Amino acid sequence: MPWQGGGTFYRVFGFARHLVERGHDVTIMATSLHNKVFFQEDVWEGVKVVLSPALLFGKLRTGWDFYEVARRCLWLNGRSFDLVHGFESRPVVIYPALYAHRQNRGASLVLDWCDWFGRGGSVEERSPWVRFLLRPVETFYEENFRQKADGTTAINSVLKKRAIDLGVKPESIHWLPNGADVQKINVIAQKTAREQLGIASEAVLIGHLGQAFPNDAGLMADAFHIVQEQIPKAQLLLIGQHKTNIAAHFSIPTDVVETGFVSQEEMNLYLAACDLLWLPLKNTLANRGRWPMKINDYMASGRAVVSTDVGDLAGLFQEPYPIGVLSKDNPDQFAEKSLSLLKNIEMRHQYGRNGRFLAETQFDWSHVTEQLENFYWRIYKTES
């Protein structure tokens, strides 16, 4: 089965495969990357994955296709479930989830909230005309259905508070962070990783994984320019598909190394090859209202992290097991903190060990899935 991309699918599948390991039958519905007519059904690591057809394309294929809504409801007709968990609430999720819930009387409905999309959130990062058109629609679907759920999973305290403000009962909300895949992401010696990737041993590499909002990319570029003033040979390694023209901020192309799409094994090697990993986030509602999945991969790789003090992530940088250092969301301090840590290899190693410890304990997929299972049982028994 082709990987479906996107952080939400990765989040859903992480929980699904560990629920299967715990003895449950789990079906995921996801949008097919290309199919317009037929459903594709497959089993991946014990999880039944159903890829639904859609007519739209590009970003419109991310939850807005009402043809797909109808096709999903037809597929669900006559099928029984004990619990329905909708991840986010755009049309292709919420309407089929509500339909399946009504069909299976006695089944519980849970809604996940892992991003602030609507008013004040990530929609504000878009171009003016897209922002104007999408803001009311995103806000409606994000807010209008929350009270219909028997339970809510929220990725951070900001979205939990927002759910409560919308009338969701606090006792029906469960904090559900992303998991860390400590089986597939290993701690690899930097020398070994660089030899396999053909990277010079003396290189100074600062890594960033995955996507970045335009404002965050600007912060990253400005901070890196300051770092280069002190360490001219430093390079910024952009791992994976970042979907932002970060290279446009640099006059010398070799300052930035862009890997493009990489497999999980390659990603592991690139993370291990870095001296530092960066998570520069501007202090916006969009960033406070999410939990970037890359931070879990950073921890699992055992590398020190420099991040901005934004949202719930700040707790990862506090005692007893800090995974790195925090900065304000300005390039001068971010660069200063990074330069200081680059000079202290022992501290970097300690932060890396702390991150791996948290990944193997508090954030291991099996652990967070066990907590989710307990929440399911509580919701199911309460509603039965």
Output the pLDDT for position 4.
53
Confidence of residue 129 (pLDDT cuts 50, 70, 90): confident
The model's pTM is 0.92
- CATH node for 7-114+145-179+364-383: 3.40.50.2000
Question: What are 313-344's pLDDT values in tens digits?
Answer: 999 999 999 999 999 999 999 999 999 999 99
Question: What are 27-66's pLDDT values in tens digits?
Answer: 999 999 999 999 999 999 999 999 999 999 887 888 999 9
Output the pLDDT for position 130.
76
pLDDT at residue 383 tops 70: no
pLDDT at residue 380 tops 50: yes
Output the pLDDT for position 6.
67
Q: Which CATH architecture has domain 190-360?
A: 3-Layer(aba) Sandwich (3.40)
pLDDT at residue 384 tops 60: no
If you average pLDDT over residues 91-98, what whole number do you get?
97
pLDDT at residue 127 tops 90: no
- Give ranges for CATH 3.40.50.2000 in the chain: 7-114+145-179+364-383, 190-360
Output the pLDDT for position 2.
44
Dihedral sign for Cα atoms in the order 178, 44, 64, 214: positive
Output the pLDDT for position 120.
81
If you average pLDDT over residues 120-124, what whole number do you get?
79
If you average pLDDT over residues 159-164, what whole number do you get?
95
Tokens at 4, concatenated: 């479906």
How far apart are the C-alpha atoms of 235 and 111, rounded to whole Å? Answer: 41
Output the pLDDT for position 3.
47
Given a contact cutoff of 8 angstroms between Cβ atoms, the answer to whether 250 and 278 are in contact is no
Beta partners for residue 173, in sequence order: 152
